[in-house]
A and B are shown apart, each in its own frame.
Chain A
Amino acid sequence: MSTTIILTIACLGVLGLLFSVVLYFVAQKFKVEEDPRIDIVESILPGANCGGCGQAGCRAFAENVVKAPSIGSFFCPVGGNPTMAEIAKALGQEVEAKEPMVAVVRCHGTIDNRAKINNFEGYSSCKVMSSLYIGDTGCKYGCLGKGDCEVVCKFDAIHIDPKRGIPEVNQDKCTACGACVKACPKSIIELRNKGLKERRVYVSCLSKDKGAVTRKACAVGCIGCGKCAKVCPFGAITVENNLAYIDFTKCKLCRKCVEECPTKAIWAVNFPIKLPKSATEPHTEPQPQTIEKESTVQQEN
């Protein structure tokens, strides 16, 4: 009995030793020389492998950053400035801080604002739907509400609100990786700067239709009247093809356009509920709702 045990242990021990020696030499022979900094950079990266940086994943990002002469053209949207600063430090370089961005859904064609005129059947995907026809509402530019953006989001930051039928971005979870921007077949989602105190003003519509057509299809569409562009003191608003666009690099968050917009297509988020002038009261109506939503989200986190 005891000899069996001893024999077993001896056999296995010798075998183990033999293999470890073999493995050692094999490892020596087939060793791949790799820049050790790649591992360091990779360990700094968030490891989401989202592809938001334009690389195939975090490992590829690390490899390319180390290879590249300058870190300047690289940016990890998930880790943001702190991560980039750390990587720069690890590589002995300097990096400029970039302004934080957030995904903004530029359509408010909710179920209430935009009537459905037909019923879509088939695989529930915006891509399938948009390749087939303009969508189940009268607006061919608006959100289809099938949630391709929700599917691709790796950070649980964008969700279709079943009551409203359009996606909503959780600005605290959003890393501005841009996956939803690419996924949206109607190009409704845009990466905009987070703004001062996370306050943002944007045109929540992409309709290039004539005013009358837009009005018929949607209650809160941009009709291209141009009033906002006239009232903007900073020249941040341009109107092209019956559609206004606010350049966030020029916008100073004065909110004059919000008051002016006849269809309430311009949205201001994260501003205090109380507005300075009583004259603007009618236009504040949709705002408390958004602010409430955004603030509850903040409390949750």
Chain B
Amino acid sequence: MKKTFKIGGVHPNDNKLTSDAIIEVFPVLDTAYISMAQHLGAPAEPIVQKGDKVRVGQVIGKPTGFISGFVHSSVSGTVTSVEPLPDLAGNPVTHVVIAVEGDEWCEEIDRTPDIKRDIPYSSEEIIEKIKNAGIVGLGGAAFPTHVKLNPPKDKKAEFLILNGSECEPYVTADDRIMKERPEEILIGAAIMMKALNVDKAFVGIEENKPQAIASMKKAAEAFPQIEIVTLKKKYPQGGEKQLIDSVTGRRVPSMGLPIDVGVVVQNVGTSLAVYEAVQKNQPLFEGVVTVTGHCVTEQRNFLLRIGTPFSKILDAVGGLPKDAAKFISGGPMMGKAVANIDASTLKGTSAFLLMTEEETRRKEEGNCIRCGKCTEACPMGLEPYLLNKLCRAGNRYDDLEKEKIFDCIECGCCLYTCPANIPLLDIIRINKAEVIKIMRNRPKK
């Protein structure tokens, strides 16, 4: 039986246009712009200077806090500058700009195509290797992976869940790696299981990827502890809390973390990166990015080095489409609109989506007709219409807290479904931040 989460959800058209496009290696360009804010948390601090020679895989940024990570060069060449450049939203972020000379990799990186199956490392060694490889969650939030694999002492993980649901429409990066590199993903999972000291793992895959399910199932025959779970197609199936509900039936408590119910969730892309870091000594500096959209002439899946400007990717797929009106980094439900197309790709970039004005334009806002569709759609069981009303009333933070606005996962189901086109999530998002700020500042009892 296909499993799914119980509350809410929507069914957008999945538009997996690039599902059959084999991953192509994107050529290395002449300049790379590597951002130091590749992950959630504190940005890395650059440790190279103008004029330094760097090789592929060399550390160029070191973490500045607990929730932070290493950044590695994705190219070889000379650092031409270390300066603040606008990111995709236009905000200045420190970038290391490297002029590319050849493609010289650090020699410890194993570039052979053989698959290494033995895991001769201890839990601590694995976590150290993952940390040094700068691996972040590739599911969207880019949360540093070593932090997730190192749960607090008083909490014990029971399962590892690999997220292969890829519920975002259009995006096919995970779909492709599951088809092309299933065994490496599962070895990555086995490595993480060892790090967490758990003996059961699940891989959740949405039913709209039958080939990926088949290839993963075949590869999983060699891994008795890993079970492939077919999930129903429903957005947000890949939301961390929803996925845990779907696969195990456990529900992460309000304000809690997956570890509270004994689960650690990692994306399949992260798992592949873990495999490469631990078995092949290759740090995270490249990833699969889906370049798609109905207006794009050549829809592709690329293996892309970080620090490639979006505008250069556009050139590779036949230039800027005439009717493209919005560029999105990520999927259409949770992806970020790109304000600055000269911004470069990050570790967490999974897709570059172009949409026409007709596809994406927000319609004019009408009166709330109290149809309850937002409440029906909310996967966290919240009442977006009510939150909207309270937010607009102003200064109703106490009531918003009572209505659990902090549980919102910003999946966008409410805004997607609202027949009156009310910008529910826009309003809820900023008020949620405000409520969480108030709750954090409150003295603990």
Q: Do chains A and B touch in the complex (CB under 8 A)?
A: yes
* Residues in A lying within 8 Å of B, measured CB to CB: 118, 121-123, 125, 127-128, 131-135, 140, 151-152
Q: Which of A125, A132, A133 has the most CB of B within 10 A?
A: A133
How many chain B residues touch the partner (CB < 8 A)?
Answer: 17
Q: Using Cβ atoms and an 8 Å threshold, which residues of chain B touch A127?
A: 430
A134 to B337, CA, bound (A): 12
A93 to B433, CA, bound (A): 43
Whether A122 contacts B362 by the Cβ 8 Å rule is yes
Q: Using Cβ atoms and an 8 Å threshold, which residues of chain A touch B433?
A: 131
Whether A123 contacts B423 by the Cβ 8 Å rule is yes
Whether B91 contacts A121 by the Cβ 8 Å rule is no
A122 to B429, CA, bound (A): 12
Query: Could you give, for residues 324-335 of chain B, a 1 whenever the CB lies within 8 Å of some chain A CB and a 0 otherwise?
Result: 000000000000
| Residue B153 is within 8 A (CB to CB) of chain A in the complex | no
A227 to B181, CA, bound (A): 63
Whether A122 contacts B426 by the Cβ 8 Å rule is yes
Query: Could you give, for residues 404-439 of chain B, a 1 whenever the CB lies within 8 Å of some chain A CB and a 0 otherwise?
Result: 000000000000000000010011011001000000
Nearest B residue to A118, CB-CB: B339
| Residue B106 is within 8 A (CB to CB) of chain A in the complex | no
**Smallest CB separation, A160 vs chain B (Å):** 18
Residues in B46-102 with C-beta less than 8 Å from chain A: 86, 88-92
Cβ-defined partner of A134 (8 Å) among B339, B361, B423: B339
Nearest A residue to B362, CB-CB: A121
Nearest B residue to A134, CB-CB: B90
A226 to B426, CA, bound (A): 40
Cβ-defined partner of A133 (8 Å) among B90, B394, B423: B90
Whether A133 contacts B430 by the Cβ 8 Å rule is no
A127 to B426, CA, bound (A): 10
Whether B90 contacts A128 by the Cβ 8 Å rule is no
Whether A140 contacts B91 by the Cβ 8 Å rule is yes
Residues in B117-139 with C-beta less than 8 Å from chain A: none
**Smallest CB separation, A141 vs chain B (Å):** 11
Query: Top 7 A-B pairs ranked by shortest CB distance?
Result: A134-B90, A133-B89, A123-B426, A123-B423, A133-B339, A122-B426, A128-B426
Cβ-defined partner of A128 (8 Å) among B89, B337, B430: B430
Q: Using Cβ atoms and an 8 Å threshold, which residues of chain A touch B91?
A: 133-134, 140
Whether B90 contacts A131 by the Cβ 8 Å rule is no
**Smallest CB separation, B342 vs chain A (Å):** 12
Whether A132 contacts B89 by the Cβ 8 Å rule is yes
Known: A133-B339, A140-B91. 11 other contacts (CB 8 A): A123-B423, A123-B426, A125-B427, A127-B430, A128-B429, A131-B430, A131-B433, A132-B337, A133-B88, A133-B337, A140-B90
Q: Using Cβ atoms and an 8 Å threshold, which residues of chain B touch A134?
A: 86, 89-91, 339
Q: Using Cβ atoms and an 8 Å threshold, which residues of chain B touch A132?
A: 89, 337
Q: Using Cβ atoms and an 8 Å threshold, which residues of chain B touch A122?
A: 362, 423, 426
**Smallest CB separation, B139 vs chain A (Å):** 21
Q: Using Cβ atoms and an 8 Å threshold, which residues of chain B touch A135?
A: 90
Residues A125 and B430 in contact in the complex (CB < 8 Å), given A132-B89, A133-B339, A134-B339 = yes
Sample (25) of A-B pairs whose CB atoms are under 8 Å apart = A121-B361, A121-B362, A122-B362, A122-B423, A122-B426, A123-B426, A125-B427, A125-B430, A127-B430, A128-B426, A128-B429, A128-B430, A131-B430, A131-B433, A132-B89, A132-B337, A133-B88, A133-B91, A134-B86, A134-B89, A134-B90, A140-B90, A140-B91, A140-B92, A151-B394
Nearest A residue to B424, CB-CB: A123
Residues A123 and B89 in contact in the complex (CB < 8 Å), given A118-B339, A133-B339 = no
**Smallest CB separation, A232 vs chain B (Å):** 30
A151 to B86, CA, bound (A): 31
**Smallest CB separation, A133 vs chain B (Å):** 4
Q: Using Cβ atoms and an 8 Å threshold, which residues of chain B touch A133?
A: 88-91, 337, 339
**Smallest CB separation, B311 vs chain A (Å):** 15
**Smallest CB separation, A180 vs chain B (Å):** 14
Q: Using Cβ atoms and an 8 Å threshold, which residues of chain A touch B90?
A: 133-135, 140
**Smallest CB separation, B429 vs chain A (Å):** 7
Q: Using Cβ atoms and an 8 Å threshold, which residues of chain A touch B429?
A: 128, 131
Query: Could you give, for residues 302-313 of chain B, a 1 whenever the CB lies within 8 Å of some chain A CB and a 0 otherwise?
Result: 000000000000
**Smallest CB separation, B118 vs chain A (Å):** 47
A127 to B430, CA, bound (A): 7
**Smallest CB separation, A128 vs chain B (Å):** 5
A118 to B90, CA, bound (A): 11
**Smallest CB separation, A57 vs chain B (Å):** 11
Whether B427 contacts A128 by the Cβ 8 Å rule is yes
